[in-house]
Amino acid sequence: MSTMGTFDAFTTARLGIYAAQLGLQVTGNNVSNINTEGYTRQRLDQVSFKAGAYDRYRSQMDNHVGSGALVMNINQIRDPYLDVRFRNTRADVGYTDRMLAGLQEVADILDEIGKGENPEDNEKGDGLLHAQIQDLAEKLRAYEAEPTKTNNDLVRTSAGILCGLFNEYAGKLDKLYQDTLKDFDDQVTEINECLTNIRDLNREIRDCEIYGDNALELRDERNRQIDTLSQYLHIKVIYTEESIGSGQTVEKLSIYLDDDNPDKTVHTDESMLIDGVFGAQLYRTPVPNPNFDPDQDPAAGNEPYLDKDGNPVLELKDAAFTDNFDLSISKLLDVKDQEWKGISTVYEKVDAATQAIIDALRTSETQGATGGTAPDQWTVKEPATKAVYGFNFTPSGVKWVDGNTFTIAGTNYNVGDTAAGADISVDDANDPEKLAAFICGKLAQDPEYTGKYNVRIDPANPTTILFEAQNAGAIPVSERPRLGAKAGTDPEGKLTFSTRQVITAGKDAVLTPPAEKTDPDTPEENAETITSYQQINGEWNKVSTIIRHTKVVDLDDNDLHGSLQATRELLTEKGEFTTPDEVKIDENAAERRGLPYYQLSLDLLARQFATQYNKINVGYMQDKDGNYINEKGELLELGGVPGVPISAVNGLTDAQKQALIDAGLVDKDGNPDITQWLEKTTTLPDGSPNPDGAVKMGGVLFSNRNDNDDPSNITAANISVSHSWSNGSVSLVPTYKVLFLEENGVKVPHTTQSDNAGHMLNMIEKNLVYNPRDLVPDSVSTKLFEGNFNDMFSNMNTICGQDIRANNIALNNSYTQLVEIDTQRDGVSGVDLNDEAMNMMQFQKALNAAMRMMTVIDEALDRLINNTGVAGR
């Protein structure tokens, strides 16, 4: 029968009560947090408990009963795979949602569906810019039919409204850009807050875990933060175990970017953001100072950055940011802003050359002596000393007699009559001093000591033999004189020496190794190696300590995914306006279109519009057949091509084209440009009008400000009706043709001829090539679109619409997926009322049962204690 304490049953019941109570608490906690965002369902980790050990004399008949239930832990229920899927999908949602929002904001500005009103029947939907271009066409059509001042004014008014629309759209796009820029910075700030929070939570959780607390609520918060972060960035979360010593480990959470760059050679897209208690921060890459020397510490005169004016600055906060919103990841810092470091130390024997230096200096008796060359110079700190050992000869008291022998260093010596060939006389042998001198003389000749020691009698003590080392330095024990043993066989037992006395200890010189040396960036990047020498067990070792630092990572264009990347693309992607340098960074850049694309497209449309109309309204006088003439009505001729009129309507002859090319009068594409020639002929070298040259007519209609006539660098934001057109000094030129101009200025008027106005009207419908290089000279594409003004604007909207559609579909897909995963995740980690109700009932019943158990045992013991054995009383 097993042993069981009388009151063990109480303990069993009590454990049941505890467990049930805790279960109820957990249930209550779950129910309370049913609406807490990020809360993970908790569960009691309960095990069956059995106390005690087996009996010494265990019977097979014994039955062991458990001792109740123990609550081992309170756990969370999470599915890491669902977390991964959720975060991946959330990054997709973040990206498409932000991209969609940005594009929709573009569409809100540019999309004219349902806008505008048709004045004829008050029907809506003609658009604004669309309709205004047609309104201008209508006014031009009227001007073409009747080139009057009134109609000129009407055209100008319409053009002014069109310019206003361009300005308005450009302004709104710019405002959107600024808002998006702010959003970008806000997102970076939020990401950094998340990263800081996660890092700090890691630390708190680590501390809790060390003290045995699971820190479930902190984990919930950390998960919530990670979920939030995953919306901005596509991340990879990795859990590992971290040793905290004594064989104990705690969980370590690391977060990396999740390898989004399609270029497999790029690895910055796998950079670490969080490593346990260390965390990085994201920041916009500052403009680097090309003159910065990275081998020197940043300081005045060696500033690492440039500010927006191009001046070198020391602080990151003062630096300007790169134009393409490049991002960098900072070094990993802990909560005290201390940098993460990885330290490893390698001990190795010094190399032969160094050992030779050491050996040379080891026996040096000169303090300050040096060996090697700086900085690898060794110095003698304390000089070496020579060892002196002494052996005292003490007579045994038994007299030597003739015939006695003794052995020194393997040679037998006879005591007796020296005349008879004995080595030492009896008298001398019995004189300790003489015997000592005899022995000393023999030892001095011992090859074992020759060249190592000088053997002599101590002058202060004639019975003491001294062994004085010839060289300074420590002498190994094996090489020290051992006279007792050397005395050899002493059959008479009369030769006795004291033990070896160290008169002077032989010491090696104490060396000072070369100063500690630090090599940055060797042998690996972002690490420094500290080299020093350390004497271990008398041996000098080279000690290499490698300290690894985390590094600042400059992210590539495509390293990120998520809403931050979407915002960045919205801010940077220029589609066909992309330059080759940008394509080198992202080969798909020319197919990605963000706000700059739409801004530049609108600018290109405005510039094309202004350029074409300015070109039409500036020309040179022609005769009725369209040949250029001077103010006397004479036909102009190109030098080298005599007798051939220069026709504005039939094009140039091959000879005329060649003449222009020969004269270098070509446009940017290398085509002959007659306009340059005509312009040159208008004035004489002294600047006065040339009566034999071309006669310039008209003036620019559109300029970059309404108070000037400068047609350069016109954009949608600045396109204006020119000052001269506004004040009437320039009007639309209905025709450049002059009928029958005679030398005296007489001509046949044709006040309603309007062939040039016809060009203007035709221009509205003319198919033009929109060349991105007109705005961005080194853009990769030379053709954005070909069509008329309306078509170009419509094309912008179509592209935007298609992008919105594509993103909308992607968003719907990813969002549906996200909801599904989140629901699944909730299925694992979420609190369910039915579940909790069941748990509540279950734990309540268990509690009741345990308490009932307590009562039952109490009653049983009461019976046993108070009511047993009282029969018959």
Partner 1 sequence: MIRATTGGVLRSYRYNLMNSFITDNKARETVLTQRVFNSYAEDPAAAAKSFRLRKSRMMTSSQLKICDNTYHKYQGAFASLQTVSELIDTENSSSDVSTLKDAALRMLNDPTGDARTQLNKVLDNLSDTIIQNMNQTYGDEFIFAGADGHNVPFTVEEVNGKKQLYYRGIPVDAAKPKLTLNADQSRVEVQIEDKNTGAVAPLDPNEATYLRQGVELLDASKVQEVERETNGVPVTLYGTDGNVYYLLKKTPQATGMDEAAFEAYMTQVETDYRANNPAATDEEVQAAVDEERAKFTETFEFVEPLPANPRTYYMAEDLVLKDEFDTVDDSIMRDENGNAYTVTVDGTKSYLIKGSDNCFVTESEYAKACSDAEKLEYLANEKRFVDIGLGFQEDENGKLIESSAFNECLSGLTFLGYGVDEAGDPKNIYSLVQRLKDIAVNAPQEGKWDKATYDEFDRLVGKLEDASSEFKTQFTNQSAGTEKLKNNYDLLEDNVYNLKEQYSNLEDVNMADAISSFLWAEYCYNAALKVGNSVLSQSLMDYLQ
Site for partner 1 in 831-850 (CB under 8 A): 831-838, 840-841
**21 belongs to the binding site for partner 1 (CB under 8 A):** no
- Kindly give, in sequence order, each residue whose CB lies less than 8 Å from that of residue 615, ignoring residues fewer than 6 positions away: none
- Restricting to residues 638-677, name those near partner 1 by CB under 8 A: 649-651
Q: Which of 566, 761, 768, 847 binds partner 1 (CB under 8 A)?
A: 761
Alpha carbon distance 420, 425 (integer Å): 10
Q: Which of 830, 842, 854, 857 binds partner 1 (CB under 8 A)?
A: 830
Closer by beta carbon to partner 1, 138 or else 637:
138
What is the closest distance, in whole angstroms, from the C-beta atom of residue 151 to partner 1 in the complex? 11
Q: Which of 114, 310, 451, 639 binds partner 1 (CB under 8 A)?
A: 114
Alpha carbon distance 587, 241 (integer Å): 40
Closer by beta carbon to partner 1, 74 or else 107:
107
**769 belongs to the binding site for partner 1 (CB under 8 A):** no
- Restricting to residues 87-106, name those near partner 1 by CB under 8 A: 104
Tokens 């204690």 identify what position?
865
**349 belongs to the binding site for partner 1 (CB under 8 A):** no
What is the closest distance, in whole angstroms, from the C-beta atom of residue 87 to partner 1 in the complex? 17
Q: Answer whether 91's CB lies under 8 Å from 237's CB.
A: no
Closer by beta carbon to partner 1, 257 or else 652:
652
- In whole angstroms, how far apart are CA 324 and each of 292, 582, 854? 21, 9, 74
Closer by beta carbon to partner 1, 381 or else 624:
624
**758 belongs to the binding site for partner 1 (CB under 8 A):** yes
Closer by beta carbon to partner 1, 319 or else 821:
821
What is the closest distance, in whole angstroms, from the C-beta atom of residue 814 to partner 1 in the complex? 13
Which of helix, strand or coil describes residue 246?
coil
The alpha-helical segments, DSSP class H, found in 509-554 are none
What is the closest distance, in whole angstroms, from the C-beta atom of residue 747 to partner 1 in the complex? 9
333 DSSP 8-state letter: B
Alpha carbon distance 84, 825 (integer Å): 11
What is the closest distance, in whole angstroms, from the C-beta atom of residue 114 to partner 1 in the complex? 6
DSSP 407-427: EETTEEEEBS-TTTT-SB-HH
Tokens, residue 190: 């939020």
Q: Cβ-count burial of 726 within 10 angstroms (0-12 exposed, 13-18 middle, 19+ buried)?
A: middle
Kindly indicate which of the ranges 52-60, 84-92, 291-299, 796-804 contains the residues binding partner 1, using the contact rule CB under 8 A. Answer: 796-804
Closer by beta carbon to partner 1, 405 or else 817:
817
Select from 15, 19, 9 the least CA-distant residue to 857.
Answer: 9
- Kindly give, in sequence order, each residue whose CB lies less than 8 Å from that of residue 326, ignoring residues fewer than 6 positions away: 284, 285, 554, 555, 557
Alpha carbon distance 616, 598 (integer Å): 27
**23 belongs to the binding site for partner 1 (CB under 8 A):** no
Q: Which of 800, 846, 850, 853 binds partner 1 (CB under 8 A)?
A: 800
Alpha carbon distance 384, 367 (integer Å): 9
Tokens, residue 719: 């396109």
Q: Answer whether 133's CB lies under 8 Å from 796's CB.
A: no
Select from 733, 792, 725, 785 the least CA-distant residue to 760.
Answer: 733
Kindly indicate which of the ranges 67-75, 262-270, 390-398, 801-809 contains the residues binding partner 1, using the contact rule CB under 8 A. Answer: 801-809
Kindly indicate which of the ranges 208-216, 373-381, 520-528, 753-761 contains the residues binding partner 1, using the contact rule CB under 8 A. Answer: 753-761
Alpha carbon distance 763, 617 (integer Å): 12
Tokens, residue 3: 């042993």
**745 belongs to the binding site for partner 1 (CB under 8 A):** no
Which of helix, strand or coil describes residue 283?
strand
- Restricting to residues 711-740, name those near partner 1 by CB under 8 A: 739-740
Kindly indicate which of the ranges 572-580, 582-590, 684-692, 821-829 contains the residues binding partner 1, using the contact rule CB under 8 A. Answer: 821-829
Give 424's strand partners. Answer: 415
What is the closest distance, in whole angstroms, from the C-beta atom of residue 240 to partner 1 in the complex? 28
What is the closest distance, in whole angstroms, from the C-beta atom of residue 529 to partner 1 in the complex? 54
Alpha carbon distance 323, 285 (integer Å): 9
**113 belongs to the binding site for partner 1 (CB under 8 A):** yes
**805 belongs to the binding site for partner 1 (CB under 8 A):** yes
Q: Answer whether 437's CB lies under 8 Å from 425's CB.
A: no
**762 belongs to the binding site for partner 1 (CB under 8 A):** yes
**333 belongs to the binding site for partner 1 (CB under 8 A):** no
- Restricting to residues 58-87, name those near partner 1 by CB under 8 A: none
Which of helix, strand or coil describes residue 489?
coil
Q: Which of 182, 517, 584, 766 binds partner 1 (CB under 8 A)?
A: 766
633 DSSP 8-state letter: S
Q: Which of 750, 774, 813, 817 binds partner 1 (CB under 8 A)?
A: 750
Which of helix, strand or coil describes residue 171?
helix
- Restricting to residues 121-160, name those near partner 1 by CB under 8 A: 125-127, 130-131, 133-135, 137-138, 141-142, 144-146, 148
**356 belongs to the binding site for partner 1 (CB under 8 A):** no
- Restricting to residues 597-636, name those near partner 1 by CB under 8 A: 624, 626
Closer by beta carbon to partner 1, 130 or else 222:
130
How many residues belong to the site for partner 1 (CB under 8 A)?
78
Tokens 């020119």 identify what position?
722
- Restricting to residues 672-711, name those near partner 1 by CB under 8 A: none
Closer by beta carbon to partner 1, 375 or else 749:
749
Q: Which helix (H) or strand (E) holds 45?
A: strand 42-49
- Restricting to residues 548-607, name those near partner 1 by CB under 8 A: none
The alpha-helical segments, DSSP class H, found in 445-562 are 483-486
What is the closest distance, in whole angstroms, from the C-beta atom of residue 824 to partner 1 in the complex? 6
Task: Please state whether beta strands 696-698 and 618-620 pair in parallel, antiparallel, or not at all (unpaired).
Answer: antiparallel
Closer by beta carbon to partner 1, 345 or else 798:
798
